[in-house]
Structure 1
Amino acid sequence: MRKKIKVLIVEDSLVVRELLKHIIGSDERFDVLAAVASAEECLEQLDTLRPDVISLDIRLPGMNGLDATLKIMARRPTPIVVVAAQVDDVELNIAMNALRAGALSVVEKPVGVTNAGYETMAAKICTQLAIMSQVQVVRQGISRGLSFGSDETPALPPRSGPVSYSMAGIVASTGGPQALVQLLGGLGADFPLPILLVQHITASFLEGFVTWLSGATPFEVRIAEDDEKPVPGRVYVAPADRHLGLVSGHLAILDSPAVCSQKPSGTVLFAAMARELGQHGIGVVLTGMGSDGADGLRQMADKGAYTIVEDASTCVVNGMPAAAAKLGGARETLPLPAIAARLRELALGGTR
């Protein structure tokens, strides 16, 4: 018999707490260890219960979800799924900062069983808890040395010679928000290229994520619009449930089918950059589950673009970067702190 996933629920609302117990407890994959009303109770029982994953409310009496995340990650690192209501900017900001602090994903609070969206929301909560329970969350020091692939997936050899780059594309999923803050912050406000971004995130939290990222980094971050001309100093984020592409130097918003079960998809973005920019594009795959972006990055590499994947040593989940490297799409594999420096070197110096 398969071992059940042990879940700790942290939710101050009695109604929502009971609803979460019902949703999670009805799924045979899970064993609900406890459902507590505060972060303080969670921390008191953390070492005793030893959950595989935590469902964590954001706005709690006393300690909020952000502070709870920081303490959990310091005391006993455990996968955390933030369960938040999109009620106001404060709650969204706390949720985004919890992701930055180490929570793995954010999902919407469930609605009553009579609501038309109940089944979909309940299934998403259970899916996220199941997936994130498998993530190995550790207290991780970030290596500042450079890594250029492994024996199994050697990186393509760097090529010398001046090249002018016109645009950078970044794809991220699980662990992306915290990685993006570090990467974009390291690029600096004078980074001379427009940046196109695909971040897998719950659609209802996208606008909050964009606002938060704009405030946490030196860039103006905005949701991409069709036929917009990308300019330096801005990060253009793929809209909810639409792909981001590029046509004749202008952004293209596409309603084509999902790729790698993702919409927006990093592969769609990178394929467009490969076609439109050739060797003048830069593609980066950051932490994330699955394989989205891998085939697109390979297409960029085939066209002579500069391609980078995040090294396993700093990934929250080394799914997407590993898949891209395995396909031969990675010209260079770098730990997260080294990626910004390499991008600045490429964009400002133009050498490979």
Structure 2
Amino acid sequence: MFEKIRVLVVDDSALMRKIISDMINSELDMEVIDTARDGEIGIKKAALLKPDVVTLDVEMPNKNGLEALQEIKKHCNCQVIMLSSLTSEGSEITIESLRKGAFDFIQKPSGSISLDISKVKEELIEKIRYAKAHNQKNKLIRKSNIESSRQIKTVNKKIDAVVLGASTGGPKVLFDVITNLPNNLNVPIFVVQHMPAGFTKAFAERLDKNSKLTVKEGQDGQAILPNTVYIAPGGYHMLLEKNKIRLDLSPTIHGVRPAVDKLFTSAAEFYKENLLGCVFTGMGKDGAEGVKKIKANGGYIIAQDELTSTVYGMPKAAYETGCVDVVLPDHKIAEEIIKVVKRT
């Protein structure tokens, strides 16, 4: 008999608690061990029951999702998936929660009480399974204390632009990388982080407040400037054309829009061999085709290593193309970008 994934559901709506619990309990490999109607109760139950995964509503009375998250992480070695409605406050709390240790988030389809929450069932179930797997990986990392770093080749070429791609686990890594870059990097940086529309705006604003570089959500027709980070807006592919940003609504790639492949391929065509690309943690294989295009045009590729990736999907797919130049833990990637761009 296999051990089921134990989930605690925290939401101030009794209806949401019931629907979310039913979705989880319908899966053979997971079960809801309890529910909580607010953050305070959720904190106490997480400390007592030690669940594998907590689903945590972002906007709640008494303690909001961010406040509850911080307390839960103090007392319970579990992964937390935030459930957020697209409000200004909700998106800001969600972005900060990801930086503070939340595993990932799910957007409620139609507000705090989403009768159509079943639309995201497949996404929620998949993320619960990945969250449990990440818990198990963390235990192995704590035991081994291994740090991986693999240099395949060195580079000594002029870099005119940097492209970054990430998904699950990406917001925290991108925050750490971008806020550690200097204000005189003198190249533009383009970012695809898989997020729904609205959340990318909050992400860009959070980065801009904390970074030495200017950080903006990309806009169609926007001129490309050095020392500026452009975040692809949720719901749009971001491409580069004639020193301007172009946004389009062409079909999703790998089920996502924006897609890393779309940005990387476009940037490779524009910047040729003078492009540095980096693939971070995330589910799936988005970015692998773009990495091949960058390498075919003579560019340079960094991939995040397995140990520090929340989900080793995208970096693995990139590495398996044979086009990656260096594999690094997350905390060494900013240093490598600076070294390559400034050729120090």
Q: TM-score, normalised by structure 2?
A: 0.87
Q: Distance in 2 between matches of 1:2 and 1:111?
A: 35
Is the 1:16–1:110 Cα contact (8 Å) retained in structure 2? Answer: no
Q: Taking structure 1 as reference, are residues 65 and 115 closer, same or farther at Cα in structure 2, changes over 3 Å only?
A: closer
What residue identity is the alignment partner of 1:319? G
Is the 1:19–1:110 Cα contact (8 Å) retained in structure 2? Answer: no
Tell me how far 1:80 sits from its aligned partner. Answer: 1.3
Match of 1:152 in 2: none
Is the 1:156–1:328 Cα contact (8 Å) retained in structure 2? Answer: no
Match of 1:311 in 2: 305
Q: Taking structure 1 as reference, are residues 88 and 303 closer, same or farther at Cα in structure 2, changes over 3 Å only?
A: closer
Tell me how far 1:101 sits from its aligned partner. Answer: 1.4
Given candidates 126, 133, 147, the residue that maps to 2:149 is: 147
Is the 1:221–1:236 Cα contact (8 Å) retained in structure 2? Answer: yes
What residue identity is the alignment partner of 1:10? V
Q: Distance in 1 between matches of 2:64 and 2:132?
A: 22
Identity of aligned residues (%): 27
Match of 1:151 in 2: none
Q: How does 1:315-330 map to 2 (within 5 A)?
A: 315-330=309-324
Match of 1:72 in 2: 72
Given candidates 253, 271, 274, the residue that maps to 2:268 is: 274
Larger deviation, residues 272-281 vs 117-126: 117-126
Larger deviation, residues 315-324 vs 45-54: 45-54
Q: Taking structure 1 as reference, are residues 239 and 178 closer, same or farther at Cα in structure 2, changes over 3 Å only?
A: same
Q: Distance in 2 between matches of 1:129 and 1:182?
A: 25
Q: Distance in 2 between matches of 1:260 and 1:87?
A: 27
Say whether residues 1:181 and 2:183 are aligned partners: no
Q: Give the SS at the match of 2:179.
A: helix
Structure 1 regions of 5+ residues with no counterpart? 149-154
Tell me how far 1:167 sits from its aligned partner. Answer: 0.8
Tell me how far 1:224 sits from its aligned partner. Answer: 1.5
Match of 2:100 in 1: 101
What is the Cα-based RMSD across aligned positions, in Å? 2.8
Q: How does 1:1-352 map to 2 (within 5 A)?
A: 4-27=4-27, 30-46=30-46, 48-89=48-89, 91-109=90-108, 111=110, 117-136=116-135, 138=138, 147-148=149-150, 156-159=152-155, 161=156, 163-349=157-343
Larger deviation, residues 276-285 vs 204-213: 204-213
1:92-126 deviation per Cα after TM superposition (whole angstroms, max 9, x unaligned): 322211101111222233659x9785542455444
Q: Distance in 1 between matches of 2:299 and 2:43?
A: 48
Larger deviation, residues 26-35 vs 232-241: 26-35
Structure 2 regions of 5+ residues with no counterpart? none
1:270-323 deviation per Cα after TM superposition (whole angstroms, max 9, x unaligned): 111222211101101111111110121122122221111112232212211111
The count of corresponding residues between Structure 1 and Structure 2 is 339
Larger deviation, residues 261-270 vs 73-82: 73-82
Q: Distance in 2 between matches of 1:21 and 1:313?
A: 32
Larger deviation, residues 283-292 vs 115-124: 115-124
1:163-202 deviation per Cα after TM superposition (whole angstroms, max 9, x unaligned): 2211110001111111011101110222211111100113
Q: Distance in 1 between matches of 2:63 and 2:246?
A: 43
Q: Distance in 2 between matches of 1:11 and 1:195?
A: 38
Tell me how far 1:45 sits from its aligned partner. Answer: 3.1
Q: Taking structure 1 as reference, are residues 262 and 108 closer, same or farther at Cα in structure 2, changes over 3 Å only?
A: closer
Q: Distance in 2 between matches of 1:82 and 1:319?
A: 21
Q: Give the SS at the match of 1:69.
A: helix
Q: Give the SS at the match of 2:32.
A: strand
Is the 1:267–1:293 Cα contact (8 Å) retained in structure 2? Answer: yes
Q: Taking structure 1 as reference, are residues 184 and 115 closer, same or farther at Cα in structure 2, changes over 3 Å only?
A: closer
Is the 2:66–2:94 Cα contact (8 Å) retained in structure 1? Answer: yes
Q: Distance in 2 between matches of 1:219 and 1:171?
A: 18
1:113-146 deviation per Cα after TM superposition (whole angstroms, max 9, x unaligned): x9785542455444433443333363878x9977
Q: TM-score, normalised by structure 1?
A: 0.85
Larger deviation, residues 20-29 vs 323-332: 20-29
Q: Taking structure 1 as reference, are residues 115 and 32 closer, same or farther at Cα in structure 2, changes over 3 Å only?
A: closer
Is the 1:299–1:329 Cα contact (8 Å) retained in structure 2? Answer: no
Is the 1:106–1:202 Cα contact (8 Å) retained in structure 2? Answer: no
Q: Distance in 1 between matches of 2:195 and 2:290?
A: 20
What residue identity is the alignment partner of 1:120? K
What residue identity is the alignment partner of 1:96? I
Q: Distance in 2 between matches of 1:34 and 1:223?
A: 39
Which of 1 and 2 has higher RCO (CA within 8 Å, sep 6+)?
1
